Structure 1
């Protein structure tokens, strides 16, 4: 998340990564994602979860949809960082979801 975000195509929330092909789901202000330096992006619940899963130290705040932040947080635990790049093998802990890293070995 930069101070000057890349403009999104029409109909996409600001939490949607420019290379993530999935459509928004729900209002574009359902949640707010904050990175470790205080930059914020509002987004739909779907892209909020994906962004939260992809940024180390990010946190989520409620937006316009009751319960969306809680659901997005729960979903982010099972989403791999930058999940739209699933065409390469993922074996490093930084490439796995929080849930995968929490499994006993």
Structure 2
């Protein structure tokens, strides 16, 4: 497991990547209203991994829009990139749209 003491709340314990930017750039809310404030990088990965989640602005102007756009092209649980991605639930929203076209 990765040491998360200097990472944002939105970072998954199994995601080894460092934060990018301030730890309070945006807030991701899941379908039940649970919130995780985080950097843009981890917030996008979290948003991509949760069904029915949304992003709200934090301290960085424009970050919520960037996170939303990045989550669209990010695969759920992106830190598991070596896993096969054969089901729609395992691919990014953008990949699923392209497959339907």
Q: TM-score, normalised by structure 1?
A: 0.90
Counterpart of 2:46 in structure 1 is: 51
Of residues 3, 8, 22, the one that matches 1:13 is: 8
Q: State the 1:86 CA deviation.
A: 1.1
Considering fraction of residues, name the structure with more helix: 2
SS in 1 for 2:55: strand
Q: State the 1:22 CA deviation.
A: 0.4
Counterpart of 2:86 in structure 1 is: 91
Counterpart of 1:4 in structure 2 is: none
Counterpart of 2:73 in structure 1 is: 78
CA distance in structure 1 between the aligned counterparts of 2:45 and 2:83, rounded to whole angstroms? 18
Matches within 5 A, 1:23-42: 23-42=18-37
CA distance in structure 1 between the aligned counterparts of 2:5 and 2:32, rounded to whole angstroms? 27
CA RMSD of aligned residues (A): 1.0
Q: State the 1:9 CA deviation.
A: 2.3
CA distance in structure 1 between the aligned counterparts of 2:50 and 2:97, rounded to whole angstroms? 18
CA distance in structure 1 between the aligned counterparts of 2:33 and 2:17, rounded to whole angstroms? 26
